[in-house]
Amino acid sequence: MSKRKELQTQILQHYFSIQDNIATLKLVYDTFAELINPNFGDGTIEKLNDKLFSDIQEAVLLLPKKFKLNLHIIIKNFGEYTKEECAEIIKQNIYLAAYRTIKENHKKLVSGGSLIGAGAVILIVSYLLHNYELWFDLINISGTLFVWEGVNMAFLERSLENRATRTLAKSIQNIIIEEMTDF
CA distance linking residue 181 with residue 20, whole number of Å: 29
Largest CA distance in the chain: 81
Q: Is residue 74 within 8 Å of residue 29, measured between CB atoms?
A: yes
pLDDT band at 157 (very low <50, low <70, confident <90, very high): low
List Cα–Cα distances, 46 to 32, 43, 89, 133, in angstroms. 11, 6, 6, 60
> Which whole number is the average pLDDT over 124-133?
76
Residues 107-125: pLDDT tens digits?
888 888 888 888 888 888 8
Residues 19-75: pLDDT tens digits?
888 888 888 888 888 888 777 766 666 788 888 878 877 777 777 778 888 888 888
Q: Which residues, in sequence order, are CB contacts of 51 under 8 Å at separation 6+?
A: 34, 35
